[in-house]
Amino acid sequence: MYRKIGVVGLGYVGLTLAASLARKGYQVFGVDAQPQVLESLREGRVHIFEPGIAEVLAEHIGRSLQVDSTLPPDVDVAVLCVSTPVDDQAYRPNLGNLAAAAEQVARWCGPETLVVVRSTVPVGTSRAVVLPPLLAGWGRARLVMAPERTIQGQALRELVELPQVVGGLDEPSREAGLAFFGGLATQVVPVSSLEAAELVKLANNCHTDLIYSFGNELALIAERHRLDPLEVIGAANLDYPRPDLSRPGYVGGGCLSKDPYLMIESAGVPGPFLVGAARRLNEYLPVHVATRVVELIRQERGATVGARLAVLGWAYKGWPPTDDMRGTPIAAMMAVFREAGLVVLGHDPMVTDDVIRNHGGDPTSLDKAFVESDAVLVINDHPDYRAIEIGTVLAARRPVLIYDSWRILDERAIRAAGVRYAGIGYLPEPAGIARPDRDLSEGRV
């Protein structure tokens, strides 16, 4: 029924959807406001990192997947995938891109086009921001909200395997949306309204932020009492039938660092909401870790000015691997490191040297990070870091401190080499103190 699909916005959400639709046999027309993005895609070069996207472009670009600055007027479906950023000062959403996209679709297309909001928005946005320009241009509209819920690194698979939630302006809109997404995904989930679908996406991401914040809270308490948070969490989880506690860790990315503020905006009035407290705690964690790293360097070295700190992992997460710097912990940490006078070296298998330089670091190699620095901070858990053999990277010239945020390195080998070891919420004494033989620390929800 629906064969010609327009995708407005070719960032992470839009490009992965366009690629998935092209693989399913749809004729896809992608639109983006940035000429450099269109030029890159026409040449088969991908401007985001996502496994499988390059292969889809090689097969479909210029054929079943075309990109341009406008949509053809006869597309059956127009999917809005533009960004909805949050102001970094007032933390209020900027919905200008979405409003502009709706106005463009109203000019390009007609009332028979099914319009789908895919962007993450505060509750009520589809009706208040997207619908008015459609009605002004067409007099009537078919409008659906169907939130994107994939994880980076698995998007092409999850777009098919994850249930697609669909809410409509009215029953005909919802039925049209269910028919469209039924051609893409193995399962579709109808909900009663645009607003219900909007809240589903916020609920998923904000709940994740809440879960991680509790693990981080436990870690901060454990640190104060000289406990091992992974021991506490592992013992609490072992064979206990209630939901697992999360390991401590940084919470970033384009969604989790933004969507809680969209949830707060949806609440409408100030209140004792958990989401805001959780977000503040998760944003505090990188600053806390940076401060702790500076203190430990000062303890071990006597001074911090001029000390060389090698930071491993600049993207916001290491698994699944990504080059995404949105919400990266290092952004909040660098101010602390600069104030302490540290020289920051940087390494990340996914991030270019120019990105590291733009964030204030000096690029280095993985082997040099351990022999040319006074301290090493592991921020993300990329497989290359999990595979590090401590015995091969620690030479005669070795760091005084290794702060292993994800606890993925061999602590015993590090401490046996006379190097101070620490992690999030974990500050063992410098001298070797044996840990329990039974390891209860594995796993994170």
205-234 pLDDT, tens digit per residue, is 999 999 999 999 999 999 999 999 999 999
436, pLDDT greater than 80? no
CB 118 within 8 A of CB 17: yes
Residue-wise pLDDT tens digits, 166-190? 999 999 999 999 999 999 999 999 9
pLDDT (0 to 100) of residue 26: 97
pLDDT-derived band at 1 (thresholds 50, 70, 90) equals: confident
pLDDT-derived band at 442 (thresholds 50, 70, 90) equals: very low
Average pLDDT, the chain: 94
Question: Which residues are within 8 A (CB) of 231 and not within 5 positions of it... i.e. 6 or more apart?
Answer: 435, 436, 440, 441
Maximum distance among all alpha carbons in the chain?
Answer: 76
pLDDT (0 to 100) of residue 88: 83
pLDDT (0 to 100) of residue 265: 94
pLDDT (0 to 100) of residue 424: 98
pLDDT (0 to 100) of residue 431: 59
Residue-wise pLDDT tens digits, 15-73? 999 999 999 999 999 999 999 999 999 999 999 999 999 999 999 999 999 999 999 99
Query: Given this structure, which CATH class describes domain 217-422?
Result: alpha beta
Question: Percentage of the chain surpassing pLDDT 70?
Answer: 97
What are the helix (H) ranges across 31-164?
Answer: 35-42, 53-60, 96-108, 125, 131-138, 155-161
The stretch 107-114 carries a mean pLDDT of 97
pLDDT (0 to 100) of residue 72: 95
Question: Rounded to a whole number, what is the distance in angstroms from the first to the last CA of the chain?
Answer: 40
Q: pTM of the prediction?
A: 0.90
pLDDT (0 to 100) of residue 438: 39
Equal fold, 4-194 vs 217-422: yes
CA-CA distance, 445 to 61, in Å (whole number)?
37
pLDDT-derived band at 439 (thresholds 50, 70, 90) equals: very low
CA-CA distance, 73 to 108, in Å (whole number)?
5
Q: Where are the domains of the chain?
A: 4-194, 217-422
pLDDT-derived band at 102 (thresholds 50, 70, 90) equals: very high
The stretch 282-300 carries a mean pLDDT of 97
The correct CATH number of 4-194 out of 2.170.150.70, 3.30.230.70, 3.40.50.1820, 3.40.50.720 is: 3.40.50.720
162, pLDDT greater than 80? yes
